[in-house]
Chain A
Amino acid sequence: MASTVARLPDAQLEPLARAYKDALAAKQRQILIGIATLVVALFVAGYMAEVRIGEFLRHIDRFPTYIVRLFFLDTGASVFTDIGEWFWGWKHWLKLLVETMLIAYTGTFLGALAAFVLSFVISANLSRTAWLRISVKRFLEFCRTVPELVFALIFVVAFGLGPVPGVLAIAIHTMGALGKQFSEVVENIDMKPVEGITATGATWWETVRFAAVPQVLSNFASYALLRFEINVRGAAVMGFVGAGGIGQDLIEAIRKFYNSDVSAILILIIVAVMLIDLGTERLRHALLGKERS
Chain B
Amino acid sequence: MLKIRGLSKRFGQKAAVDDVTLDIPAGSFIGVIGRSGAGKSTLLRMINRLIDASDGSIQFGDVDVTRLKGQALRDWRSDCAMIFQQFNLVGRLDVLTNVLTGRLNHVPSWQALLKLWSADDKAIALAALDQFDMGQLAAQRTDSLSGGQQQRVAIARALVQEPKMILADEPIASLDPRNTRLVMDALLRINRHYGITVLCNLHSLELARGYCDRLIGMAAGKVVFDGLPGELTEDVARELYGLEAGDVMDDAAPPVLVPGMAPEIAQLIQA
Q: Which residues of A contact B112 (CB under 8 A)?
A: 202, 206, 209-210
Report if B129 contacts A (CB, 8 A).
Answer: no
Q: CA A176 – CA B71 in complex, angstroms? A: 33
Report if A52 contacts B (CB, 8 A).
Answer: no
Q: Which of the listed residues A199, A209, A211 has the most CB atoms from chain B within 10 Å of its own CB?
A: A199
Q: Which residues of A contact B154 (CB under 8 A)?
A: 196
Report if B113 contacts A (CB, 8 A).
Answer: yes
Q: CA A197 – CA B112 in complex, angstroms? A: 13
Q: Which residues of A contact B84 (CB under 8 A)?
A: 192, 195-196, 199
Report if B92 contacts A (CB, 8 A).
Answer: yes
Report if A205 contacts B (CB, 8 A).
Answer: yes
Q: Which of the listed residues A192, A193, A200 has the most CB atoms from chain B within 10 Å of its own CB?
A: A200
Given the contacts A205-B109, A210-B101, A199 and B77 also touching, CB distance less than 8 Å: yes
Q: CA A210 – CA B77 in complex, angstroms? A: 17
B residues 83-104 in Cβ contact with A at 8 Å: 84, 86-93, 97, 101-102, 104
Q: Which residues of A contact B75 (CB under 8 A)?
A: 201
Q: Which residues of B contact A65 (CB under 8 A)?
A: none
Q: Are A210 and B93 in contact (CB under 8 A)?
A: yes
Q: Which residues of B contact A206 (CB under 8 A)?
A: 104, 109, 112-113
Min C-beta distance of B158 to chain A, whole Å: 8
Q: Are B50 and A214 in contact (CB under 8 A)?
A: no
Q: CA A175 – CA B105 in complex, angstroms? A: 32
Residue count of chain A within 8 Å CB distance of chain B: 18
Report if A215 contacts B (CB, 8 A).
Answer: yes
State which of A196, A198, A201 has its C-beta within 8 Å of the C-beta of B90.
A196
Report if A203 contacts B (CB, 8 A).
Answer: yes
Q: Are B92 and A203 in contact (CB under 8 A)?
A: no
Given the contacts A201-B78, A201-B161, A196 and B87 also touching, CB distance less than 8 Å: yes
Q: Are B89 and A193 in contact (CB under 8 A)?
A: yes
Q: Are B88 and A192 in contact (CB under 8 A)?
A: yes
Q: Are A214 and B88 in contact (CB under 8 A)?
A: no
Q: CA A215 – CA B97 in complex, angstroms? A: 15
Q: Are B105 and A201 in contact (CB under 8 A)?
A: yes
Q: Are B101 and A214 in contact (CB under 8 A)?
A: no
Q: CA A210 – CA B99 in complex, angstroms? A: 11
A residues at B contact (CB < 8 Å):
192-193, 195-203, 205-206, 209-211, 214-215
Give the 10 A-B CB pairs with smallest separation, nearest first.
Answer: A196-B88, A201-B78, A201-B105, A202-B104, A201-B77, A214-B92, A199-B82, A201-B74, A193-B90, A192-B88
Contacts A/B (CB < 8 Å), 8 sampled: A196-B90, A198-B50, A201-B79, A202-B101, A202-B104, A203-B104, A206-B109, A210-B93
